[in-house]
Amino acid sequence: MRATFVASEVGNGLRRNLTMTLAVIITVAVSLALFGASLLVRAQVSAMKDFWYDKVEVSIFLCSKGSDTPSCAGGAVTAAQRDQIKADLESLRPLVDEIYYESKAEAYQRFTEQFKNSPIVDNVTEKSLPESFRVKLADPTKYDVVASAFAGRPGIEQVNDQRQVLDKFFQLLGGLQAIALLIAGVMLVVTVLLIVNTMRVAAFSRRRETSIMRLVGASNFYIQLPFLLEAAFAAAIGAVLAIGALVLMKVVIIDGVLAPSFQFTAFVGWEAVAAIAPVMLITGIALAGLAAFFTLRKYLRV
Amino acid sequence: MILFDHVTKLYPTQQRPALDDVSLEIEKGEFVFLVGPSGSGKSTFLRLVLREERPTKGQVWVLGKDLNRLSNWKIPMLRRQIGTVFQDFRLLPNKTVAENVAFALEVIGKPSSHIKKVVPEVLEVVGLEGKESRRPDELSGGEQQRVAIARAFVNRPMMLIADEPTGNLDPGTSVGIMKLLDRINRLGTTVVMSTHDAQIVDQMRRRVIELEGGHVVRDQTRGVYGYAQ
Ligand SMILES: Nc1ncnc2c1ncn2[C@@H]1O[C@H](COP(=O)(O)OP(=O)(O)OP(=O)(O)O)[C@@H](O)[C@H]1O
Ligand SMILES: [Mg+2]
């Protein structure tokens, strides 16, 4: 293998086909940037899940006087009911990780703390807030086990899972990610088509060289290598640009805008970017290489 | 060297076979003319030897290999032992004479020290010394064909296949090319060339195989071109 010869062939090929090469670089960059962005959103969702699922609890609200759900027909919860609920919760360990009882007084205190700047506090009295058990689950996805065991039991007004609220939010993010992934997929298809066409044009414009190569007994590998390297090289440049765009997204959008304004939640760190970048690079090069390989197999036959 | 055993070649789009049940043998060191009217199957014969086409029926043996059973990845190795020359020269216009010849060695992975040594040697054999750095459009037709022959011969092949090598040249220039091919043959390379040039065939007095409509109608050891049937 003559490395310098192959390198000069690749250089010539890229220069001769400059506009096509640029088109390939740009489409690869755009599609991989979208692909990387969608992976970043996924990493973000999973970072937020880790952060929030750790904090969310299942709340079991107990009946107060005047609650109008059927399970509260017997009036306010009795001490016996409360003890039974507590005992049943204890029996659910280790799924149930922590159990915390919140009395009406504590609920009122927390409420006034949370909404201290809001006029709503004036309309709420200690009596109007329900007492509750706050339960932390070892595995937050197993909410159903708790809900089915306690919902509708006499003395229990309502079983509430904070996760459900969060899930709506995560679904929204998931939807965004799916859309980004879909657009990235379409762009990647466009990229493949463009590479196929570029290779076809390149093979055609160099048919003189390749036909002579065949006649003098150059191996298929040697004939196709410059084309494959050209495609891989253009894809690599596109991937590097896309990775640059991803870094920019992290610096400007996440660290610059989102993180300072939403301090209550976690954001993806650089390790996510470091994990996504090689995936983008490999996807780009592999896609271009495969597209080129299968095109050339058709157009540069022995 | 070359053995055709009941070879028939029918192109998919064609009604009539381009070669029809051809059997013949060409020995090592021979110089063979392939003659016959246009469309008689001369180029098809040569393409079968180069394994650019496969026979529809029968077997083609080249350099001891049954080409029907030669796997695709071994074809380059076969072609490295066969030089090829065509009527239209097939040179690269943006490369110099020396670069055109060197190209044939570069693409089969020869080291550049070897290339630097053998390219001037072969250019001397074909009589192009002093013209190494010219481009094809700065050469006459005869000189361009010499470059093509240098490229075909630089790897010292066992066999040289020439499809109407003098087809684009005037008679005087053709004689020079034939002298060169004769010299290459005397250096031990088997030469098979197709031609329409009666004068050349008559002068050389070598083996002549005449094709007509895909059949061998004459095979003569010291033949002439226009042998009446
Ligand atoms: N690639 C092809 N596809 C279909 N038919 C072909 C092909 N090549 C040649 N033929 C047909 O096969 C027959 C033999 O062609 P071939 O080229 O071998 O003739 P030839 O003797 O070399 O003629 P010429 O002296 O004009 O070069 C012709 O009828 C031609 O039309
Ligand atoms: Mg012909």
Does the CB atom of residue B166 touch ligand 1 within 6 A?
A: no
Pick from B73, B104, B111: which is nearest to A216 by CB?
B104
B210 has pLDDT over 60:
yes
Å from B227 to nearest chain A CA? 33
User: In chain B, what is the straight-line distance between the N-terminal and C-terminal CA atoms, in Å?
Assistant: 28
Amino acid letter for position A92: L
B69 has pLDDT over 80:
yes
Residue B10 has a pLDDT of 96
Residue A117 has a pLDDT of 67
At B37, is the pLDDT very low, low, confident or very high (cuts 50, 70, 90)?
very high
Q: Are A195 and A24 in contact (CB under 8 A)?
A: yes
Say whether pTM exceeds 0.90.
Answer: no
Atom of ligand 1 nearest to the CA of B16: 29
Mean of pLDDT values over A226-244:
92
What's the pLDDT tens digit per position in A153-162? 777 887 877 7
Q: Report CA(B39)–ligand 1 centroid distance (Å).
A: 5
Chain B residues in contact with A5 by the CB 8 A cut-off are 106-107
Does the CB atom of residue B42 touch ligand 1 within 6 A?
A: yes
Q: Name the closest-CA residue to atom 2, ligand 1.
A: B11
**How far apart, in whole angstroms, are the C-alpha atoms of residue A289 and residue B5?**
43
Strand order through the sheet with B65-66: B19-26, B2-9, B57-62, B65-66
Pick from A212, A215, A302: which is nearest to B92 by CB?
A212
Best mutation target among B107, B113, B122, B161 (most A Cβ atoms within 10 Å) is: B107
The interface pTM score, or ipTM, of the predicted complex is 0.89
What's the pLDDT tens digit per position in A95-109? 778 888 888 888 788
Q: Report CA(A219)–ligand 1 centroid distance (Å).
A: 27
A302 has pLDDT over 60:
no
At B30, is the pLDDT very low, low, confident or very high (cuts 50, 70, 90)?
very high
Residue written as token pair 């899930």 = A167
Residue B23 has a pLDDT of 95
Residue A148, phi then psi, degrees to nearest 5: -70, -30
User: Are B79 and A223 in contact (CB < 8 Å)?
Assistant: no
Mean of pLDDT values over A185-207:
87
* Residue, of A139 and B58, whose pLDDT is higher: B58
**How far apart, in whole angstroms, are the C-alpha atoms of residue A122 and residue A111?**
11
Residue-range domains of chain A with CATH: 2-52+167-299 (no CATH), 55-162 (3.30.70.3040)
User: Are A216 and B111 in contact (CB < 8 Å)?
Assistant: no
* Residue, of A239 and A200, whose pLDDT is higher: A239
Q: Report CA(B18)–ligand 1 centroid distance (Å).
A: 6
Tell me what the pLDDT averaged over chain A comes to.
83
User: In chain A, what is the straight-line distance between the N-terminal and C-terminal CA atoms, in Å?
Assistant: 19
Adjacent-strand bridge partners of A117: none
At A280, is the pLDDT very low, low, confident or very high (cuts 50, 70, 90)?
very high
At A240, is the pLDDT very low, low, confident or very high (cuts 50, 70, 90)?
very high
Amino acid letter for position A144: D
What's the pLDDT tens digit per position in B73-108? 899 999 999 999 999 999 999 999 999 999 999 999
The least confident of A115-119, B68-72, B209-213 is: A115-119
With pLDDT > 90 as the criterion, what percentage of chain A qualifies?
A: 18
Report how far Cα B7 is from the mean position of its chain's Cα atoms.
20
Q: Environment class of residue A263 by beta-carbon count within 10 Å: exposed (0-12), middle (13-18) or buried (19+)?
A: exposed
Q: Name the closest-CA residue to atom 8, ligand 1.
A: B44
Mean of pLDDT values over A282-294:
91
Mean of pLDDT values over B20-45:
95
Pick from B108, B111, B112: which is nearest to A216 by CB?
B108
Mean of pLDDT values over B176-201:
94
B12: helix, coil or strand?
A: coil
Q: Are B82 and B157 in contact (CB under 8 A)?
A: yes
What's the pLDDT tens digit per position in B102-146? 999 999 989 999 999 999 999 999 999 999 999 999 999 999 999
**Burial call B160-169: b when 16+ CB within 10 Å, e when fewer:** bbbbbbbbbb
| H/E run at residue A301 | none
The least confident of A100-109, A192-201, A281-290, B146-155 is: A100-109
Does the CB atom of residue B14 touch ligand 1 within 6 A?
A: yes
A156: helix, coil or strand?
A: strand
**How far apart, in whole angstroms, are the C-alpha atoms of residue B127 and residue B124?**
5
